[in-house]
Structure 1
Amino acid sequence: MDGEADFMRRALELAEFGRGRVMPNPPVGCVLVRDGEIVAEGWHDHIGGLHAEQMAIAEAEVRGVPTLGTTAYITLEPCNHFGRTPPCTEALLWAGVSHVVVGAADPNPTVRGGGTETLRSGGVNVEEGLLVDECEEQMHEFMHWCRTRRPHVLLKAAIDAHGRIDGDPALPAERFSSEASLGLVHELRADSMAILVGINTVIRDNPSLTVRGPDIGPRDSPLRVVIDPNCRVPGDSELLVDGAAPTLLVHCTDPGAIDDAPHVERMVLTDDDGELPVSRILDMLGDRGIQSLLVEGGADTWRRFLAEEAVDRAHLCRSPSTLSGDSDLKFDEDELSDAGLRCVSTIDVDGDEVSHWKR
């Protein structure tokens, strides 16, 4: 490798191995370098496992590679507190690492500045800000939550060739996206701490909202959130009976005494004339530590989030198929752009046009 930026880019590559498996922690990568060569690598692989710095040091030990005097390139400021593992600052000092290059500072109030200050106090030369934009982008949900105490919101929508989102209401809901596009949806779910739908989607589609395919390791399944102001959720809905993931029903009226399954929780939030403000929902989820929220539908829910400028990014799948019937339920790209989002990429996924949007 030619220089410091290349070492940090390798650390960014390594961090991706932990994507979807380390929440609520962010993905982090680390390389140890001596004389311009990488001698050990590490990443945070799963929640409760070694952090990136600790894995790199452990790899060096196993291979008999001395760490004294090495330089560590780390995508995020090392932690300086006891959590599921001891502080990474202690591991770096114990290993005799003499120089640490950090990509992004940790904005978490429990860590802010403590990692670099501790290392400097221990005689380590510390540099900060190498490829900071790339490092923050990789962990943007974590950064967003630390700075706003609200989850980062990703809107996911699928439409047919004419912008329709549903077929004949007298028939069962149709699945019209390609299998490859559905696979992308499960990747989005795996990368989310919560998945939200409105009550109309539950009644119409009876979804399970689970992650199928991607390996999320030992972390909890994403929380399933249903916005159900007037307690209309059917008792036999998959979300209530399958026990597959924790489920939160948000009401604005008291549902009374209901014998729900252990995985189901109900919460009553104050309303504005029978509607639950998106801001109040986001504050509640942020207080619960939810950093990333996938809003899957339906159209009324999308529009409420867009109207409150609460959508940070969007994933829109336009299928070449045409849904049956003459339903006028539609959604299209103009609604995203009108809400202040811009299209940053478009890809073909087995015939589906998938566009990605950012604020």
Structure 2
Amino acid sequence: MRELLKWEALKVWKKNSFWLFFVLIPIVSCALYTYNYYDSLAQIDLQKERLEEQLKAVQEDDHTEGSKVFEQETQKQLDSVTDPDDSAVLNDQLEYLDRVIQGTDYVTSLVMIGEENQIISTNILQLNRNRLDDMLQEKIAPQRPLTLALPQDYLANFTPNERESYYQLNYKDKNASGLLYVKNFFEHSWGFIFLIVVVFLLGGTVSNEHQKGHDHLAFMRLQGISFLKWSVAKHLVNWGYVLFLLVLWFVPMIVLSLFLGGIGQLNYPVMAYDVSDAAINYTWMTLGAYDLKALLLLTLMAWFLVECFTLEGVFIKKELQIWILSVGIILLGAVLPLHSFNLLSYVKIDQVVTGGLNLERLHDYYSFEKSVLLLISAIVGLSISSLYLLKRRAIR
């Protein structure tokens, strides 16, 4: 069995495309992380300059009660960017949110976002207050600048100008580093790119077995190799290469984060949604739980695709056709109507893990556990089907 596994692995190892991806994936991963890191530093410097100019202008203005309050809040916003003491920044924000929630403070840009002055509700302010309090108690370093986290459905009610203002304030979390950058990988749909890489690397592993001129299935029979052993080896090697690609993509970036920005903390809070027919509840999950679930879901989606083009390879001999069909399947998952039994919709990994997809449904709910069960069932079902069809082809 060991020699059979080695033989199957070498079939992929010897492909030029494998070495191309082997070189490019770590380079691209580290380049994107490095660009994100230095670009975020530049954005923070720009905000620092803007706040300093704003503070200077207010200090030179008449010292009315309103201008004094605005000066204090501008100074706090500047501190949230520049103050090295994380606990001090968190305490300042907690004190301010307490005053705003209790209605004893001047309404500022913290609770009025966008040109249309979208008011942030007390429930959202309290949600953020709970997050900051947990971060303070657990000594979690906040991302800078420290701003409000708004739920996905809440942002949907914003006008385009308000959303743009909010995203400019938050930089769409571009300043995330280390483990938080892994979250951004899924949040910005880079999982699509990973799945497409899997297709190009492994898409032809079965179709190539019975092409004219090198029928490996016939060669296997002549060598007396058990079809079941060959099939198991083929699946194990393909699944193993998926895990290898995951390591190739994420490990270099995580190592780089040790030198640029830090690896982060596993207990950092990430917003999630608990949706039922009765209500929508906003909650927080840990970054460690998010990353683990997202990576597992990405692995299962990749294995599901491996089984899809294994089945395709029974009927299609040309690798290019396999690539086109498989990429089409991935893109189809992005446009088909949402349904928890639509396995292709699980390419929206971030939305599945956080529960964000449930905000668009009325009675059909996604869950991480349900997605894992459905994908594993589909992988097993497709594996059995492809093995049966391949065996029939081998017998002929």
Q: What range describes the TM-score normalised by the shorter chain of this pair?
A: under 0.3
Between 1 and 2, higher relative CO (CA 8 Å, sep ≥ 6) is seen in 2
TM normalised by structure 2 equals 0.26
From the CA coordinates, give the structure whose radius of gyration is larger. 2
Q: Which has the higher strand share?
A: 1
TM normalised by structure 1 equals 0.28
Q: Which has the higher helix share?
A: 2
